[in-house]
Amino acid sequence: MRIIPAIDVIDGKCVRLTKGVYATKKIYNENPLEVAKEFEAFGIKYLHLVDLDGARAQRTLNHKVLESIALHTSLTVDFGGGIRSADDMRIAFESGASQVTGGSMAVKNAAEFANCLTRFGSEKVILGADAINRKVATQAWHEQSAIDVVDFIADYEKQGVIYVVCTDINKDGMLQGVSEALYTDILQKTNVRLIASGGVSSTDDLKVLNDIGCDGAIIGKAIYENKITLKELSRLC
């Protein structure tokens, strides 16, 4: 299982939210590149970079942060936040992303998401499937649909999706454990490469995700709040 630390960006700074609520913003570092370099120094190979400004504005805003990290580290970066069109994806790839996540676009503009899969390839386009009580959420998690997240993933798998990032929003930033039941259900009903996000609080949680068959695990607040050390993560890479 791939270990994937997260950097969320607001105003060019490294922050974390709780359950996606912007009012809970906590700044951990003024310079995301410094954080990325520290990850790299501990042997970490992957990074999940989220443009929270872009997610709220519905357009990519922090691609320069992506560009800086891609230029000055060897990290393999997946990028999301504010991706609403093939042009947004193009900018992200040109800025150095190895993969780009589309979430709201996949719900609200399925034809454009399908266009991205064709244009950039299923190996490079990640389906963002974030959910509250198993229902897909969009618009920086402010809107909840009536779409069951497992059905949503299964439908897109038929269209060629390989990679899926799934966040249980109720778990995000809570440091209270991962959604084992939800992820198990997804893995039993689909063959996607599932990247779990939300709730990781310890290496025990990572073992759970590995044992059920997740392709990757995104770790955010647990790192910044020193619940998991980079030295511990380096042993798992």
pLDDT at 227 over 70: yes
Q: What is the pLDDT of residue 42?
A: 97
What is the Cα gyration radius of the chain?
16
Per-residue model confidence as pLDDT tens digits over 147-204: 999 999 999 999 999 999 999 888 876 677 899 999 999 999 999 999 999 889 999 9
Select the more confidently predicted residue: 237 or 114.
114
pLDDT at 140 over 80: no
Beta-strand pair 135-138/216-219: unpaired
What whole-number distance in Å separates Cα of residue 62 and Cα of residue 126? Answer: 19
Nearest to 39 by CA among 4, 2, 81: 4
Length of the chain as a residue count: 237
Per-residue model confidence as pLDDT tens digits over 66-125: 999 999 999 999 999 999 999 999 999 999 999 999 998 999 999 999 999 999 999 999
- Sort 33 into a burial class: Cβ within 10 Å, 0-12 / 13-18 / 19+: middle
Q: What is the pLDDT of residue 21?
A: 83
Q: What is the pLDDT of residue 83?
A: 95
pTM of the entire structure? 0.93
CA 223 to chain centre: 15
CB burial of 134-146 (b: ≥16 within 10 Å; e: otherwise) equals bebbbebbeeeee
What whole-number distance in Å separates Cα of residue 39 and Cα of residue 116? Answer: 30
- Mean residue pLDDT of the chain comes to 93
Q: Which of 53, 78, 88, 130 is catalytic?
A: 130
List Cβ neighbours of 4 (8 Å cut-off, separation of 6 or more).
46, 47, 48, 78, 195, 216, 217, 218, 219
Q: What is the pLDDT of residue 193?
A: 98
Beta strands (DSSP E) in the chain are: 2-10, 13-18, 21-29, 46-51, 76-80, 99-102, 125-128, 131-132, 135-138, 143-148, 163-167, 193-197, 216-219
Domains and CATH numbers, the chain: 2-236 (3.20.20.70)
What does residue 28 show for φ and ψ, rounded to 5 degrees?
Answer: -110, -25
- pLDDT-derived band at 141, boundaries 50, 70, 90: low
pLDDT at 224 over 70: yes
Q: What is the pLDDT of residue 207?
A: 97
Is 130 a residue of the active site?
Answer: yes
What whole-number distance in Å separates Cα of residue 19 and Cα of residue 141? Answer: 9
Average pLDDT estimate for 6-22: 89
Select the more confidently predicted residue: 76 or 138.
76
Q: Which of 8, 51, 78, 172 is catalytic?
A: 8
Q: Which of 11-25, 44-58, 130-144, 175-189 shows the lowest per-residue confidence on average (mean pLDDT)?
A: 130-144
